[in-house]
Structure 1
Amino acid sequence: MVSPRTDRPTLVQRLRAAGCVYAEDEAELLLAAAASTGALAGLVERRIAGEPLEHVLGWAEFCGLRVRVDAGVFVPRSRTALVVEAAVAATGPAPAVVDLCCGSGATTLALAHRLACRWLAAVDLDPAAVDCARGNLAPLGVPVFQGDLFDPLPERWRGRLDLVVANAPYVPSGAVAMMPAEARLHEARLALDGGPDGLAVLRRVAAQAARWLAPGGHLAVEVAADQAGALQAALRGYGLEPRVVRSADLDATALVARRPP
């Protein structure tokens, strides 16, 4: 850790000039992360060049936990805490849980700390995300599968899952170019691009979840507020019973869908 006496005002000024809204907070985190003045200079240059702070630091805070986030891996957003809360509220004791599109494993990690899972696993298609998630989840003995949605899961789990959580991409393809550069340039596109209307991956999750959930099991997903109606209709079409959960504080929308018993 570099001494706080390092030219902090200049550091804050440089960060603010680069467009960092929370320059003071970021300066403190960078100072704490750097083992030397030279190391600090390198971290600051990466941040000023536009790399996400979480990639520069190597971690993000999510649901009160410190989560490893490697370069190129989707950075967990604070709004996704709504999906965690909704999922925990919906499921019963000792559930069998799978987290799809897990990214760094942040949601899986939060669920592991809130639920006494009978079994818990995570899945992602991106090799970099899988490697990052394994680093976060190996200490808990949680397996991370690489593959497309439910494809890599053991067949014996079909129809036995109590809870499926998915923070799947839901940005419409045409809107990806308008996302902040931090996301657009530094996170994998497959973690952002949800197809023409943003719901291509989520519709596939809905279609397959109906077969993988146990009777009475729940699916919890994040979605944009203006997409909730269309996704509700899709979920009903697959025989699930959806409801919308919103949080003004987090500016977040989630859908929780139940497979009828």
Structure 2
Amino acid sequence: MTTKDRNDITPDNSVDFVEQKLRDIFDVVPVSIQPLKGHVDQNFLVEIDNAKFVFKLKEMKEGIFIEEFKSQIRFMMFLNGNGFVTPTIIPTLNGQMYHQEGGIIHADFHDSNIILLSQPRHKDPKGKYGIIDYGETIASLFLFDVAITVSYFMMISTLDDFIERGACVLAGYLSKRSMSTGEKKAFFVCVCAAYCRELVLCNKDFHVQGRQNEYLMTSMATGWPQLKKLRTHPEEFHAVFEKVLDIGE
């Protein structure tokens, strides 16, 4: 985790992070990676099999949306097709002209939506589990999905250990997918937002239903005190989670 201001969303990723992304996105092992100067993005000179490329990292911040980025790519391709010299975009493994930190997310992934099967479908560990409830599924950032998931597993924990429990969930996630610097910086805010979303919806449903609901009562009973602790003592969250987030570097 870098020591930069949390509000600074300029990319600040390490060479190791870039190397891992090159493996994940392009399935290549670079010979060398050298940082280059950049303004609001981060650039690296990458050498692969005696060829050199520029690997660009850009945060999707306010005022810069994915459709605008697509327009930039289309414009470069148009100019290139008409004889002008422009950067050549190298497609990713899945044939895309860019890689973004988002896609289809479940948005409601918690213990009640994970089913342990009595008879596994196949030998792969994933065959032991089933996932249900796709009513919240949406195209969004992967960051939101993991923040929602972490918040849910924190809510079913006690006030004494909910931060550590959430960190364990994140550690498992990071064993399968690394997070960008921008995602790490926004993670705490997204977890708090996930708490707010769940608690506000639970409060609404509780009053609308006008009756005792064990599911709603459980979330509200643990969620509000935990959210208050996150608000009044955020340093406790950062002290635990930043150790875990460093794993993703």
Q: TM-score range by the shorter chain?
A: under 0.3
**Higher CA-based Rg:** 2
Q: Which has a greater percent of helix? A: 2
Larger relative strand fraction: 1
